[in-house]
Each structure stands twice: as C-alpha cells, then as structure tokens.
Chains A and B, each alone.
Chain A
C-alpha cells in the first residue's frame, strides 16, 4: 500500500505538527498525516531542487497560535501555494501546516476533492476561515484570487485588486497578518494567453498558456519573503472605507516585499 512507501523522515516530521491528531492520525477537519506526508514528499524536490527556494523572514510566522499568511498569487497554476506550504513545513520548528482556501469548484472534482481535504486545503468559505483561525491555525490567503494567478506576463509583479473579506476576518478573529511576496514564479510560468473563449466552454476560470508552451513551470530560482506581522485594530464591523484602508496596508506590505526581493536578485 502507498502508505508504506512514504518518506520516513517526512512522515515523522508530519507528526510534529501541533494539531489535535486522533487515533488514526487524522485531525477533526479530516487532515490525514499520511496524505500530508505524501504531499510534502512531492513538494520537497520542487521546493529544494527544482525551484531552489530561498525563504527569508520565516521567523515572522508565529510558532503557535492563529495567523494569516497573505501574499501575491502568480504563476498560472497554483504552485505558489505549494511553495508556501513547503516553507512553513520545512523551515519552521516545529513545522506548521497552512490551510489554503480552495476554489469551490474543486470540491466537485472526483479524486482531487478528498485530496485537498486530507491535506487541510478546505473550501474557500468564510465559515472555514473563521473556524480555523479560532482553532489557532495558520490560514494561507491569496486575496487576488484567480485574478492574480492568471495574470499575464506583461503584468508581472503587478498586484491585482485584493478581495476585502480577509481583512474583516482578521479583525473578527484578532489574527495577525503575515505578509509575503513570492518572487520568480512569474518567470517560471510566464502566462501569454488565458484562452478565454475555450476556458468559457470548459467552465474553468482560465487556461494559462505559458511562453514556453508546456503547461509546467520552468526551473527558476524562487524567493519567498515574509514580512513583519501586521495587527489590524477593530472588530470587523467597520465601514468599507476603513476596511479598504486596512487592505491597502497589507497590499503595500506585499508590494514592498516583492520590490525588496526583486532588488536582491
């Protein structure tokens, strides 16, 4: 069985994640230690070799307690999310597991749907976000959503409009926001077309066509830069103007990290 073939070092590291694991190595949200080990086993060679990812400022992610890690979305396909997952897992002591918020549509895909759930990537619903934070977990948010993921190479490192839901959730739950910028994914997967007519027919948000033709990122060195935690003051019931100012603060922090990272390369 596949569970016996898991990398033992990674498998052991998974048990060190501070989650309320039950008798079957499953947590109350259905996260399965074996699936996490499998996912991390797939991510590790990409993380260490293929993208040679350099993490800067991992100390800004709290070692325990609730937090939201929020950054830019890029690269056509959601490899950027796996790199953030990898960073929190491989660089933190003890490792932490970030919960991503998955596109609702993915819940309807056979095989993919339980795979996402078993590694803690739940449907993107405010109820999930709030509950996970109240359970003192780490939430990974890309407020640009598919607008950011599918951005064209000509728009690289431009931040698309941030959704505002995350700011109200941060205020409601008192979770600190750790901004991050991921640099390099736009070169690894330069999107030249989104094939909008065809994607409409297939009912997917877009089909990212890269300049290099093959729908797989090129081996480009990446840098993941975390910034100092931002603590927003309020209760989440503020007017839209106030919320938009908070969103702007976070967006500026992400933009600053991207600029700093690009200057260093």
Chain B
C-alpha cells in the first residue's frame, strides 16, 4: 500500500510512518518541517499541504491511502493560522483524495472536540455531538476540521473515510497539549476540582493509527488507552507539582510564575473531564493498548529526569 502522511515530522506521525514502512508499505510524507533521518521506505516532501507541490504528490504518486495528521494543535499559533491550516488544509487534502482516486482517508483528530462542562457525561460515545466550540472556543477550528472530515463520508462515499479521535498522547517524546502542560515542574489546577484525564502512550497511539490504516474502517472512532486518572495524580506521577489556583484568578496565572501558557478557554477543560468510550474502535480493529497508565506516566517523568512525587 502507498500511504501519504501529512504532518509527518510530528512525533506521533513519525511513529506511524516507521511502523507502516516496517510492515512493507511505501510511505510518502508531506510537511513544511524536515525529517532528515527518515527511515528507509519513507520519502519526505517538504511542502505546505495547501500548496501546489502537495497536490503534485497526489497527482504523480497516486497513493492508496491518506493519513492526515497536519493540524496545528499548539495554541500559541494565531486563530487565523489555525483555521487556515486545520480547516483549509483538511479540505485541500480530502479534495485531492477525491480527485486522484485515493481509496482511503484517515483524519487524526482529538477527543477534546467533545468539550468539557459540568453537565456532560463521562465516556462520551461517537454518537454525541462535539461541544468544544462553546466550552473551549480556541478549539473551534479543530471541531470544524473534524466535522468537515466527517462530511467526506457523504460527499465522497467512494473514499473509505475514518475520523479517529485520540485521547491525549503521553510518553517519552510526545509533545501534544497534555505533554506541554506536564513538561513544567509546576502545573496550575483549579482549586477544588480534579477531573479525570485520559491519555494513551505514543507507541500505542501510533500502533492504533497504523492498524486503522490497514483495516477497513468507515466512520468516527474514539481511540483510547488505559483508564483515566485524576489530574492531580497525573501531575504527581509525572513528577510535576499541582498548584491549586482559585478560579477567579486562574486566568491570570498560566504563562506567568513559571507555569505553561494556556488559552483562556482551557479552564473548563482543567475543571471538568473529557473521557471517551473507545469500544467501537476496539471492536472494529481489534486494538488494545499495551502500555498502561503506570508505565506511560513513568516514562514521561524519566525522560525529563524527574521522579514521581
């Protein structure tokens, strides 16, 4: 199988690429960033996914499958850039799939699109609407991209499209939103709240995506790892000190006093849990995580030379 992976220079995408190449698939990566020591079987094209050279990859190489992982998740990027890359980029690559006969498309999204609020249940299923546009306005572009990718299911039914909503990625190399928050020695938490946080080891996440690429799959699927743990326990186990901050002054704290920056909208997602049900994906693909919560947190801490508190 010939697979295009957009955003291949990201930590998770590299893991997926290496795994697919090892399984004998031909991998072509597209990224603005470089991946100089890509393994054999992985070709990297440096291009912007919304520009001509990216489309040329689809036209000339005629891939069988697309794994779309080129989303800007760091919230330091401006809202404008995020919308252009996340929504515009998703639209561009899915249109290429339609135009150049790609049979299969995987959109790699995240579980935070479901949103966090006091009246939302634990273990959200794929049937539930993504609410994050209202609970975490800064994620609106990702919610829109997730929804747009889902529209491929009716717009271009000939493409076998699957939207994977992965829980937070953690592990020695992961650099996602949860990893960034936990990378600092002290983590601000909202006083009097301790939501469950759900994460998956980066190796398991890469395995899940590679498995999804190799398995017939259509629809929306949550991808989960071990059971969730309370935020303060997570902090301590990765060697970070949770610092309770009263809610009225919480928005003044991130980005100061050595705390990681957080957008204003993040507060609901630090007060309330986003916990999803991964059973549909497990049933469709046979996926089961291999690395538990203890090892995942310990590896994250060890990599940063920290010990559990």
Contact = CB atoms under 8 A, between A and B. Distances in A.
A29 B122 contact: yes
Contact of B121 (A23, A27, A109, A123): A123
A125 B194 CA distance: 20
A114 B194 contact: yes
Contacts of B230: 26, 30, 32, 114, 118
Contacts of B174: none
A125 B293 contact: no
Nearest to B230: A30
B118 interface: yes
Given A23-B292, A107-B119, A125-B121, A114 B228 contact: no
Interface in A1-58: 20, 22-24, 26-30, 32
Given A22-B227, A23-B293, A24-B229, A110 B247 contact: yes
A233 interface: no
Contact of B193 (A23, A114, A122): A114
Contact of B227 (A28, A118, A122, A127): A28
Interface in B224-247: 226-230, 233, 247
Interface in B120-140: 121-123
- The A interface is mostly helix, strand or loop, or mixed, namely mixed
B272 interface: yes
Interface string A89-115: 000000000000000100111111110
A127 B123 CA distance: 9
B87 to A, nearest CB: 29
- The B interface is mostly helix, strand or loop, or mixed, namely loop
Contact of A110 (B192, B272, B292): B192
Interface in B208-232: 226-230
A110 B119 contact: no
Interface string B266-309: 00000011000000000000000000111000000000000000
A126 to B, nearest CB: 9
Contacts of A108: 118
A117 B228 CA distance: 13
A23 B229 CA distance: 10
Q: Most chain-B Cβ atoms within 10 A of its Cβ — which of A27, A28, A128?
A: A28
A262 interface: no
Nearest to B272: A107
B248 to A, nearest CB: 11
Nearest to B247: A110
B42 interface: no
Given A26-B229, A26-B230, A30-B230, A114 B122 contact: no
Given A22-B293, A23-B293, A125 B229 contact: no
A24 B226 CA distance: 12
A106 to B, nearest CB: 9
B49 interface: no
A30 B119 contact: no
A38 B195 CA distance: 19
Interface in B81-134: 118-119, 121-123
B119 A125 contact: yes
A161 interface: no
Interface residues of A, number: 27
A28 B230 CA distance: 10
Interface residues of B, number: 24
Interface string B179-205: 000000000001111111000000000
A68 B272 CA distance: 27
A145 B247 CA distance: 30
A131 interface: yes
Contacts of B273: 30
A113 B119 contact: no
Given A23-B292, A23-B293, A113 B122 contact: no
B180 to A, nearest CB: 24
Contacts of B119: 104, 107, 123, 125
A128 B233 contact: no
B122 A128 contact: yes
Interface in B149-196: 190-196
B241 to A, nearest CB: 15
A131 B118 contact: no
B274 to A, nearest CB: 13
Contacts of B196: 30, 117
B127 to A, nearest CB: 10
Q: Most chain-B Cβ atoms within 10 A of its Cβ — which of A20, A22, A104, A122?
A: A22
Interface in A138-152: none
Q: Most chain-A Cβ atoms within 10 A of its Cβ — which of B122, B191, B194?
A: B122
19 contacts: A22-B227, A22-B229, A24-B233, A26-B227, A26-B229, A27-B227, A30-B230, A30-B273, A104-B119, A107-B119, A108-B118, A110-B192, A110-B193, A114-B194, A114-B230, A122-B122, A123-B118, A128-B121, A128-B122
Given A30-B273, A32-B230, 4 more contacts: A23-B292, A23-B293, A114-B193, A125-B121
Interface of A: 20, 22-24, 26-30, 32, 104, 107-114, 117-118, 122-123, 125, 127-128, 131
- 6 interchain residue pairs of minimum CB distance: A110-B192, A107-B118, A127-B121, A111-B192, A114-B194, A28-B227
